[in-house]
Amino acid sequence: MSEAALEEISVLSAIYCDPGEWQLLSRSENGITVMIQTNVRRIAESEIRLRLVLDLPVTYPSCLPNLSVSSEELTRAQCKELRDKLLDQARERLSQPMIHDLVLWTQQNFNSVIGNSIRDEKHLLSAVTDDGTWITLLHLDHMRAKNKYVKTLEKWTSDLRLTGKLMFMGKIILILLQGDKSDIRDYLVLQKTCKVDVDSTGKKCKERMISVLCEMKLSPEHQRLTTFEVKEYPAASELERDFALAGLSTLFTEFVLGLL
């Protein structure tokens, strides 16, 4: 490989020095294969881990690297779309060291590339299967950093145009959401992938103990909620009354009563 390419690899190993960020996967007479893992942010500060594997032939950077993109939080189609955009950027940088530039470009342009894909998928899904308003009832096991957690949920529901209630009754924590089903799905992605709480040592952590109790389409007997409200209930009877006022007595009986 050229001296410039070898120097670039040495510099990259120093830049991406945190655990798991950089790995030299293979080295042979045919070239070098490296892996870079980097974080990018989605809406509401949701963090996504991207894994870039670059196969650099001996003639690199005079030829394009073979490139793959993967992430647990993205679909295969979204990873392919991001890979295609990165190859377009690589063509513009042919004959010069480009890997660090490609990583920076990904971090800076991720939302514009993937955001369009997400909006297109949501529009198609809504048009085909999810017309109307949906109701989802969630159960949280606990909140350690309660104030921060509540503010985060309020921001997510506002950003995604969701209404409903965050309900506290003793140790029971329920989240009732109303809105487009695709927006509720986006909320669940945020809930499961963001570091929204802290563990027993005070370290930020993701929500691991959330369960979906019920999903259903809003029907005429259900009340359409217009805000997202946070409410504390001193007694189960008051919680049951609010479910009844919203036309959701069946949900209370089938999914909440057993938690009390």
The structure tokens listed for 210 are: 């959330």
- Predicted confidence at residue 45, as pLDDT, reads 52
Can you tell me which residue has the tokens 């377009």? 88
Q: Which residues, at least 6 apart from 220, have a Cβ–Cβ distance to it below 8 Å? A: none
Domain parsing of the chain, residue ranges: 3-125, 134-259
Classify domain 3-125 at the CATH class level.
alpha beta
> Which among 71-75, 114-118, 170-174, 179-183 has the top mean pLDDT?
170-174
pLDDT band at residue 248 using 50, 70 and 90 as cut-offs: very high
Q: What is the dihedral of CA 80, 83, 84, 86, to 10 degrees?
A: 160
C-alpha pair distances (Å), 224 with each of 164, 213, 256: 9, 19, 20
Inter-axis angle of helices 181-193 and 146-159, to 10 degrees?
150
- Predicted confidence at residue 19, as pLDDT, reads 87
Contact 24, 83 (CB under 8 A): no
- Predicted confidence at residue 21, as pLDDT, reads 92
Q: Which residues, at least 6 apart from 108, have a Cβ–Cβ distance to it below 8 Å? A: none
Answer yes or no: is pLDDT of 127 > 60: no
CATH of 134-259, one of 3.40.50.720, 3.40.190.10, 3.20.20.70, 3.30.70.100: 3.30.70.100
Shared fold status for 3-125 and 134-259 = no
Per-position DSSP letters for 139-205, written without gaps between them: EES--SSHHHHHHHHHHHHHHTT-EEEEEEETTEEEEEEEE-HHHHHHHHHHHHHSEEEE-TTS-EE
Read off the pLDDT of residues 208-247 as tens digits, 9 standing for 90 and up. Answer: 778 899 999 988 888 889 999 999 999 999 999 999 999 9
- Predicted confidence at residue 42, as pLDDT, reads 64
Q: What is the pTM of this model?
A: 0.51
pLDDT band at residue 55 using 50, 70 and 90 as cut-offs: very high
